[in-house]
């Protein structure tokens, strides 16, 4: 299966100038400018945990496999360059499954200018698993980190949250272009993408920065899917926005002045101010006359 499939894949892969040697050799060769820093990340998605092979399209699964990595690039304000794709396939219909997954991967890679520079394919008696290592670049010391938030910073969130299980977890747009615009025009002190849930990922940002957050829960943008899921389950839509996970939106901590400028800019993606960073550690719901402690919670991936 491997040689014939690689021949097919080489025919499908678009050439990008940053990859001097791509699929077909023992390793890829990527040209790298001296003035840039390397930014890398790896994510694995597995049948039964992150998608359902018997219910979801192969192209959608392939899109998600690459898009979760692109979301990490967005959270770092890095420019994605190339990706290495490792797929572990069931022995049954392996070639057709790999081709369907790659349709989604290649379409998403083309949209964001990412070269698929290599990878690996394994067939075994187990669930489908896709692991992608993404390679990006950043100007020195310009990558966003989780650790730069300051007391009195305003916390912004992109898009809307909750109910991702209905469709978004497979069909989201990684916020790469939004992050590039923000990086080039404004100063963001800290950032993280929402993969596991607003409260859980926000707790990670706060811990890395040594800060806390006073959230205005009535400001959190609740998605239409969260409203629909709440109606289906008889649950509160806000609870879905706080903890469902797999929204892949950005949380951004920046000064009040920068936040005001960002909110007035036309960036193509809605941004909302949902709270203020504080020197008091922890997650807090800000009410008119008191603060209520919130517990971090979110989507727990299989171990």
Binding residues: 26, 41, 43, 50, 72, 102, 119-120, 146, 193, 195-196, 246, 299
Which residues does the annotation place in the binding site for ATP? 102, 119-120, 146, 195
For tokens 């811990």, name the residue: 207
Tokens of 203: 């707790």
Which residues does the annotation place in the binding site for Mg(2+)? 26, 41, 43, 72, 120, 193, 196
Contact status, residue 218 vs residue 138, Cβ threshold 8 Å: no
C-alpha radius of gyration, the chain, whole number: 20
Contact status, residue 199 vs residue 297, Cβ threshold 8 Å: yes
Q: Using CA atoms, how far apart are residues 213 and 286, in angstroms rounded to an integer?
A: 9
Q: Which long-range contacts (CB under 8 A, 24 or more apart) does 55-60 make?
A: 56/170, 57/100, 57/104, 58/97, 58/99, 58/100, 58/101, 58/103, 58/104, 59/100, 59/101, 59/103, 59/104, 59/107, 60/104, 60/170, 60/171
Instruction: State the pairing for strand pair 129-138/79-90.
Output: antiparallel
For tokens 């706080």, name the residue: 242
Side-chain-facing half-sphere of 2: CA atoms under 13 Å: 11
Which residues does the annotation place in the binding site for substrate? 50, 246, 299
Query: Which residues make Cβ contacts (< 8 Å) with residue 210, sequence separation at least 6?
Result: 281
Other CB atoms within a 10 A radius of the CB of residue 155 amount to 26
By three-state DSSP, how is residue 80 classified?
A: strand
């Amino acid at each position: 299966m491997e040689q014939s499939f690689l021949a097919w894949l080489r025919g499908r892969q678009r050439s990008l100038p940053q990859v001097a040697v791509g699929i077909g050799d023992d390793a890829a060769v990527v040209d790298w400018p001296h003035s840039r820093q390397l930014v890398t990340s790896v994510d694995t998605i597995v049948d039964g945990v992150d998608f359902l092979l018997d219910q979801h399209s192969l192209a959608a699964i392939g899109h998600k496999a690459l898009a979760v990595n692109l979301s990490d690039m967005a959270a770092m304000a890095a420019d994605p360059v190339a990706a290495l794709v490792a797929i572990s396939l069931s022995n049954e219909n392996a070639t057709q499954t790999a081709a369907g997954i790659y349709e989604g991967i290649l379409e998403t890679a083309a949209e964001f200018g990412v070269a698929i520079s290599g990878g690996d394919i394994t067939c075994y008696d187990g669930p489908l698993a896709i692991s992608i290592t993404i390679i990006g670049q950043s100007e020195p010391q310009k990558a966003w980190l989780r650790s730069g938030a300051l007391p009195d910073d305003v916390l912004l969130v992109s898009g809307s949250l909750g109910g991702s299980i209905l469709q978004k977890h497979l069909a989201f747009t990684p916020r790469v272009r939004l992050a590039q615009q923000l990086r080039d025009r404004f100063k963001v002190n800290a950032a993280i993408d929402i993969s596991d849930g607003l409260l859980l990922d926000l707790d990670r940002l706060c811990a890395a920065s040594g800060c806390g957050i006073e959230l205005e829960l009535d400001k959190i943008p609740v998605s239409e899917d969260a409203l629909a899921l709440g109606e289906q389950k008889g649950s509160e839509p806000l609870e879905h926005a706080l903890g469902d996970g797999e929204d892949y939106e950005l949380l951004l901590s920046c000064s009040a002045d920068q936040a005001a400028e960002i909110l007035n800019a036309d960036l193509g993606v809605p941004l909302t101010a949902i709270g203020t960073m504080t020197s008091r550690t922890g997650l807090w719901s800000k009410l008119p006359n008191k603060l209520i402690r919130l517990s971090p919670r979110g989507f727990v991936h299989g171990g």
